[in-house]
Structure 1
Amino acid sequence: MTIRFDGRVAIVTGAGNGLGRIHALELARLGAKVVINDFGGSRDGKGGASSDAALAVVEEIRKAGGEAIANGANVADFEQVQAMAAQAMEAFGRIDILINNAGILRDKTFSKMEMADFKAVMDVHLTGSANCTKVVWDIMREQNYGRILMTTSAAALFGNFGQANYGAAKMAVVGLMNMLSIEGSKYGIRVNTLAPIAATRMTSDVMPEPLLKAIRPEQVTPGALYLVSEQAPTKLILGAGGGVFSTIRMEETTPVYIADKELSADAIAARFDQIADWSTAVPREEANQQVAVFVETAMKGLKV
C-alpha cells in the first residue's frame, strides 16, 4: 500500500524552516492540506511574530498544486495555539495530524545557564508540544482518528554536553508520548516520537560541514511521514538521520529481591552486577507491568 494523505489535514509547527518545512512540503505533495505554523523567531526563540517564513512555504505548496495556510502562533502561548486550531478547523473542517516540531536552543553548561534560559526551552519544546496536542486532542477523539508526532533528540535519550535544558525538555516529550499513546488508543489516536539527526539551523554550528552535507532533512522526513500515516504504530521512538533508521526503547533488567534482614546499601553494592545485568533486559508496555513484576518478585522473595 502506498502511503498518502489525501483528505487529511495536518498541522506542522516550526514549519518555516528546516525539518518542519520538509515535513510540510512532503505531506502536501502526498495529498494533505497543511497548516504551516512558524513563529518567525531566531534559533534561540527571540524575536518572532513574523509570518514571512510560513508564508513562503505556503506559496511553495500552492505553486505545486497543494493546499496550505500560514499561522504565526507561538506554541508556548496556549491562547495563540487555540486560535491556530480554530483557524485550521475553519479552513479545512478537521485536524488529522499534528507534528510537534517547533524548537529553540539556548545551549550553555548548567553552571552558566540562567534559569530563564532553562524555562524558555522547556516552554517551547515541552509546554509547546502539550499545548498543541491539547487543542487537537478532543477533535481527534471525536473523529476517532488522529496521528501525533513528538520530536525528541539523542541529546535527551543519551545525554550531551551543554544541553541540560534541551535534553530535559526533549526527554519530557517522550514521557508525554508514553501517556497519550495509552489514553488515545481507544479513540484511534496514535502517538509517536521522532529522534532526528539533520542539517538545520539548529545544528548548523554544532556539526562539521561534511557531516551536515550527509544528513539532509529530506532523509529524515520519510520516517516522520510513516509515523503519522494510517499504518503508523504507536508509542514508538524512531531514530532517523542520513537515510539511517532505528527504533529506541526503555528497558529494565530482571528485578533482584533482597530480604529485609540483609537489605542495605552494602547489599545493593554486593549484588549490583546482577541488578545491572543488561542481558536480562526487556521492555515494559506500561507502568503497571513494571509494578506487577516488582510485586511478584517481592512476594516470591517473602516466601523463600
Structure 2
Amino acid sequence: MGKLDGKVVIVTGAGRGIGRECALLAAREGAKVLVNDLGGSIQGGDDDDRTVAQQVAGEIGAAGGEAVANGGSVASLKDCEAMVEQAKDELGGLHGIISPAGILRDVMFHKMSEEDWDQVIEVHLKGSFNICRAAINHFRDQEDGSMVLFSSTSGLIGNIGQANYAAAKMGIAGLSHVIAMENARKNVRCNVITPSAWTRMIGTIPIKDEATRHRLEMMQRKMRPDQIAQPSVALLADEAKDVNGQIFSVRGNEIFLWNHPRPIRNMTRLEGWTPTTVLEHAMPVFRPVFTDLGTARDVFPYDPV
C-alpha cells in the first residue's frame, strides 16, 4: 500500500531535478501523476524541450504506474487550468499539487533589468498563484486537497544577487499561509518546502575558487533532489491532513520547521513618538535583537548531514 493510493497529483517542473523526483516518488506511492514541464532553460526562454515531461511520464508507465505528460507553463493561468482539466479527464480527478517549477535570473539589484524581475516573479510567484487558483475550487468542492509550494532560504534568509528570486519566494510563503487560513474548513491545505539540493539551478553558480568548488562538490554528494521529494510527497498523504500553513526546509537528511514572523520586542510611549525619541529610546532597545544580514551559510554553519 502506498501513501498516495487512489490519488491524482500534478507535479510542475517535473521533467528534471526536484520535480522529476517528486513525480517518480508520488507514482511509486500509488498516485496517478500529471507530469508538467515546459522544458525550458534555467533562465527561461524560447529553447523549450517539450519531450522532458513525456520522458518522465514514460518512465512512470514503464515502472507500472500511470501518468500523462503536459507541456504547459505555470506562468499562464490558462495553461494551469488546462492541467487541472487534463488531470480530471485523463486520470480521473485531482487531489494534490507539488509545484517546484522555476527559473533563475541572478544579478545584483543595481544591475537588474525589469525583464529579469518580471520573468522571475511571473514564473515563481504568479506561477504559484496560477496553479493554486486553477485547482482551488475543485479542492473546495470535494472538500479535499493538498498543495505543496516551493519557497527558498533566499527569501527567508536572503542571498546576494537574488533580489527577484527572494521577493518571489518570500511572496510564496505568504500566499501559501493565506490559502491555508482561508480553506482549512474545507479540508484544503497548503504548505511550503524550501529545498537545498543540487539541481540545474545550483549548477549555474560560478566556481571562483577551490573553496567554492569543494562546497559545490559536497552539495552534489549530500544534497540530492530525491531527498526533497520525500517530505513533499508525504505532505499529500491523508496522515498529513493536520499539517497546514507550515514552512519546512529540507537539506540532505535534515528537515527543519520554520516559524512565521511574529513580534519579538515592543516599545510603547503613551505621549507618542518623535524622530528624536524613536532614535534615543526605541532603537537602543531594539538593536540587540535585530536580525543580522547573514546568509544561509551563517544560519546553517555546518555541512548537511
Structure 1 and Structure 2 fold alike (TM over 0.5): yes
**Counterpart residue number, 2:266:** 255
- CA offsets 1:13-35 (integer angstroms, 9 cap, x no match): 00000000001100000000000
Aligned-residue offset at 1:229: 1.9
- CA offsets 1:198-251 (integer angstroms, 9 cap, x no match): 001011132622222211111221121222222320111001011111111223
**Counterpart residue number, 1:171:** 170
**Counterpart residue number, 1:108:** 107
TM-score, scaled relative to structure 1: 0.87
Instruction: Give the fraction of aligned pairs with identical amino acids, expressed as a percent.
Output: 35
Mean Cα deviation higher: 245-254 or 53-62: 245-254
**Counterpart residue number, 2:197:** 198
SS for the counterpart of 2:169 is helix
Aligned-residue offset at 1:273: 4.3
- CA offsets 1:72-128 (integer angstroms, 9 cap, x no match): 001111112211111111012211101121000010001111111100000000111
Structure 1 consecutive aligned stretches of length 4 or more whose deviation exceeds 3 Å:
273-279
The alpha-carbon distance between structure 1 residues 94 and 278, as it changes in their structure 2 partners (threshold 3 A), is farther
Alignment of 1:274 with 2:285, yes or no, is yes
**Counterpart residue number, 1:96:** 95
Alignment of 1:6 with 2:17, yes or no, is no
The one-letter code sitting in structure 1 at the alignment partner of 2:198 is A
**Counterpart residue number, 1:229:** 237
Aligned-residue offset at 1:267: 2.1
Mapping for residues 1-304 of structure 1, pairs under 5 Å? 4-206=3-205, 208-232=216-240, 233-249=243-259, 250-261=261-272, 263-269=273-279, 270-275=281-286, 278=289
Aligned-residue offset at 1:277: 6.4
Distance in 2, Cα, partners of 1:67 & 1:124: 27
Distance in 1, Cα, partners of 2:7 & 2:288: 46
- CA offsets 1:237-293 (integer angstroms, 9 cap, x no match): 0010111111112232143211225x12232232334346659xxxxxxxxxxxxxx
Mean Cα deviation higher: 213-222 or 16-25: 213-222
The alpha-carbon distance between structure 1 residues 42 and 49, as it changes in their structure 2 partners (threshold 3 A), is closer
Contact 1:181 1:190 in 2 (8 A): yes
Contact 1:195 1:239 in 2 (8 A): yes
How many equivalent pairs are there?
Answer: 277
